[in-house]
Amino acid sequence: MQVYLDDKLLAARPDSVADALEAGRVAAEAAGRLVIEVHADGHPIDQGMLDQPPADDAGISELRLVSTAPGPFIRTTLLDAVDLLGQIRVDQVEAVKLFHTGHIEEAFEPLQRALQSWAILRDVVDKGSTLGLIDVESVQVPSRSGQSEPGTGFISTLMEHLTEVKRSLEIQDFTALADVLEGGLEAEVGRWEEFLRAMADAAAQP
């Protein structure tokens, strides 16, 4: 199988999709770039094949990986993630209202959406850090008190609130759960907007 990184043909001739993807990833990493698309014989590769790449060639003769400079890509991803905060707020408010009015089963749907969205935001931040582009601890976010808070503080505070959500669910204390949603996690929506924008600024630095 021929493997291209952008327009460059790699020396490797892997026999499986799994090995071809790994060869492309290694080549991109060595070039300081990030793979954002994969095409098999001129067509976008199926997501299932990316998640579980076959141990054979799957009938593919050419695999082409498209890469980009990671900084601008991560910055755009972080700024796009800011838009998700608005929906988190809507879902949390809806869940709180339903919990307070005794509609417990109905409240789980917006609650689940909010928790999934928080997980997406955590994943975006983790990827920026894993790629070595951003040192989360070095990201300083100005506060209203005039002092700055490191990025790690935003992550740890969010995790404390999410842990309390889990605890409240386990003991079925829906009053406590609603309190976390309209208290700590509501405040985190505004705080994380500032945090994500600071992360985006850090990713844009050369």
What band does 71 get if pLDDT is binned at 50, 70 and 90?
confident
What's the average model confidence in pLDDT over 25-34?
A: 85
What band does 133 get if pLDDT is binned at 50, 70 and 90?
low
pLDDT digits (tens, 9 = 90+) for 155-182: 999 999 999 999 999 999 999 999 999 9
**Pair type for strands 62-68 and 2-5:** parallel
Mean pLDDT of the chain: 90
In the prediction, which pLDDT does 82 show?
93
What's the average model confidence in pLDDT over 90-113?
A: 96
In the prediction, which pLDDT does 206 show?
60
Of 114, 116, 122, nearest to 181 (Cα)?
114
What band does 194 get if pLDDT is binned at 50, 70 and 90?
very high
- Percent of the chain residues topping a pLDDT of 90: 56
For the purposes of burial, counting CB atoms within 10 Å of the CB of 138, is it exposed (0-12), middle (13-18) or buried (19 or more)?
A: exposed
For the four alpha carbons of 190, 185, 124 and 41, in that order, the dihedral sign comes to: negative
Residues 6+ apart with CB under 8 A from 151: 125, 136, 137, 138, 139, 140, 141, 195, 198, 199
pTM equals 0.75
The rounded distance, in Å, linking the Cα atoms of 172 and 170 is 6
Do residues 66 and 28 lie in contact, with contact meaning Cβ atoms separated by under 8 Å? no
What's the average model confidence in pLDDT over 67-83?
A: 86
Instruction: Please give the biggest Cα pair distance in the chain.
Output: 64
